[in-house]
Amino acid sequence: MAILGVLFDVDGTLYAYEEAERAGFQAHLEAEGLDDRFASPAEALRVWRDVMEVEYARFLSGELTFAGQRNTRTRRFLTAAGVAGASELSDEQAAAWFAAYASRKNRTRRAFDDARPALGALAGRYRLGVVSNSATVHQRAKLEAIGLLGFFTEPLICSQEHGEAKPAASIFLAGCEALGLAPAEVAYVGDDYEKDAVGARDAGLQAIWLDRSAGAVPGRGAAAAGIRVIRSLTELSGL
């Protein structure tokens, strides 16, 4: 069947998340007087990301709410930084600390340079949508802020509202349903090999793995696994 629609991941695919996170986190540590609590800024960021990986997984599994994982990340990081009473922070205090960090991060947020041209080339020819492991209100605000929201069909499909996260087949199928298309008529583009590419392929979509780093393909090789590999979103129109 011909491809009639394209679904996208957001963070790391359309939105330069790691760049904004790095700049915003360092600015926040300096503002909070915590920049000397670790051996280096890189070490502080590593601890922050390690905590996020664990707590965000708990959010995706349904164990924590989106706000809850933020609060828990704050408490755990501040405890690792040696801040007295960090583990006893109220939800309001933890949320305020995280909101200050998010505000600094958001000052530098931007779309990848190839995102708008790629979406512009596809718009009008294909139905475009989003499937993301996040919360809808959060991702909608982010896409609006970086100037990309207008390219996409609503509703955006996000794991918090859907009830399952990538790589579960159901969330990809919900994205296809939102576009009004069969899975075989839809391509999915994302930067995470397992959650995005393998998950989409196993759900019956055409999987396209965005490997911006041009690193080694995991496992048996993406081509052998029935997954297309691109290095830039500008390659999508040619596919």
Angle between helices 66-80 and 41-60 (to 10 degrees): 150
- Taking 70 as the threshold, does the pLDDT of residue 220 lie above it? no
Residue 191: is it exposed, middle or buried by C-beta count within 10 angstroms (0-12/13-18/19+)?
buried
| The pLDDT value given to residue 41 | 93
| The pLDDT value given to residue 158 | 98
C-alpha distance from residue 191 to each of 9, 109, 174 (Å): 8, 18, 20
Please name the residues in contact with 69: beta carbons below 8 A apart, sequence gap of 6 or more. 55, 56, 58, 59
| The pLDDT value given to residue 65 | 95
Model pLDDT for residues 47-102, shown as the tens digit of each residue: 999 999 999 999 999 999 999 999 999 999 999 999 999 999 999 999 999 999 99
Q: What is the mean pLDDT of residues 152-181?
A: 97
Q: What is the mean pLDDT of residues 7-19?
A: 97
The answer to whether the CB of 207 falls within 8 A of the CB of 229 is no
| The pLDDT value given to residue 223 | 61
pTM of the model: 0.90
Mean pLDDT in the chain? 94
**Angle, vertex CA 231, rays to CA 227 and CA 236, nearest 5:** 70
Q: What is the mean pLDDT of residues 143-153?
A: 97
| Bond preceding residue 41 cis, omega within 30 of 0 | no
106/85 Cα distance (integer angstroms): 28
88/214 Cα distance (integer angstroms): 44
225/239 Cα distance (integer angstroms): 18
Please name the residues in contact with 197: beta carbons below 8 A apart, sequence gap of 6 or more. 188, 190, 207, 208, 209, 222, 225, 227
Model pLDDT for residues 21-62, shown as the tens digit of each residue: 999 999 999 999 999 999 999 999 999 999 999 999 999 999
Closest CA to 232 of 128, 115, 85: 115
Q: In what order do the strands lie in the sheet with 157-158?
A: 157-158, 127-132, 5-8, 186-190, 206-210, 227-230
| The pLDDT value given to residue 116 | 98
First to last CA, the chain: 14
- Taking 60 as the threshold, does the pLDDT of residue 151 lie above it? yes
Domains delineated in the chain? 5-16+110-235 (3.40.50.1000), 17-106 (1.10.150)
225 confidence band (pLDDT: 50, 70, 90): confident
- Taking 70 as the threshold, does the pLDDT of residue 218 lie above it? no
